[in-house]
Every structure is written in structure tokens, then in C-alpha cells.
Amino acid sequence: MSDKTITLRHELRPGDIGHVVQRHGLIYGALFGWDYTFEAYVARPLAEFALRRDGERERMWLAEMRGRIVGSIAIVSGEADAAQLRWFLVEPECRGMGVGGRLIDEALRFCRATGRRRVYLWTVAGLEAAAHLYTRAGFRLTTAQPQHRWGGDMIEQRYDLDL
């Protein structure tokens, strides 16, 4: 029987940032037909996050199985007293294994420990499993608006959580 143990880490290593960018580009490109500009949308703020190195207020977690990254999530400083949840992704073959819930729980624990009062995130309609995890954690959908970005049409959504 193969080992399906999932571990979480927040120490970034060489290749981690590029991996997260690439997986977002490939997975969402395949799922929604988005073009390379989505990858650039992920890459720019992710690079800025990595260069800030503010481990006291911001953090990224990577989920690993057998040494392979299978998920990611981050908390970055957002508007006013809020934190923003970003770069949440679980590899398709690992969905339904509890990885996403663990990542969200870890991120929200960090928000509470750092005194955040609110957390928000932006996503798109059509990601039902992720939306279920957000609402299960207490987020509520506060905005939904049509957009044309990254070479496609979508409904952009914002979720908010008061801590």
C-alpha cells in the first residue's frame, strides 16, 4: 500500500514559488481555458510576497505527499485590518483527501494567532468544492460580478470571514 500521508510545511525552498505559479497556470488553463496572463497574475504578487519575507504577518503553506507538492495556500496582508487568503490549490488527484480543509484550517489559525479581525479571498464561480470549504469555514459570499479576464469570461466572487 502506498503512503498517502500529507504533511504541511511553511518554509519555502528553491522551486516552490515557480511550482505554485506553474500549477495554477496549468490547472486553471485546463479547467477554464485561461491563457498565460493568469499565470502572470499569480506570479507577480507571489514574487512580491516571497521577497517581503514577512513571516510574522504573512505565510504560505505547502502540502506534500511523498515529497511532492500537492497543495498550497497563503495568508498575505490585505486591506485595513484584514488578511487575504491567496493561492489556494489542491492537485486534482488529491481532492477529497482532506488536504484543502487542512490548508484552510492552518491559514485561519495563523490569522487568529496574528490578531487579524477579518479574512477575505477572491475566486471564481464554478469551483464548487473550494466554495464548500470556504463556507464550511465560515466565509460568506459577499460579491459576485461578471468579468472578462485571462482570455475568458467568468463570475468573480469575493468571500469574507469575520474572526
Helix (H, G, I), strand (E, B) or coil at 30: helix
| pLDDT of the residue at 79 | 81
Average pLDDT over residues 6-33: 97
CB atoms near residue 55 (< 10 Å): 11
Grid cell, residue 67, equals 515529497
**Residues 137-163 pLDDT 10s:** 999 999 999 999 999 999 999 999 999
Query: In this model, does residue 21 exceed pLDDT 50?
Result: yes
Taking each helix axis as running N to C, give the angle between helix 36-52 and helix 16-32, from 0 to 180 degrees, rounded to the nearest 10: 150
For domain 7-119, say whether CATH 3.20.20.140 is its number: no
Question: Which residue do the cell numbers 516552490 mark?
Answer: 16
Average pLDDT over residues 92-117: 96
**Distance from C-alpha of 24 to C-alpha of 138, rounded to nearest angstrom:** 25
Query: In this model, does residue 68 exceed pLDDT 70?
Result: yes
**Distance from C-alpha of 161 to C-alpha of 147, rounded to nearest angstrom:** 23
If you average pLDDT over every residue of the chain, what do you get? 95
Average pLDDT over residues 57-74: 97
Q: Which of 60, 115, 65, 64 is nearest to 86 (CA)?
A: 60
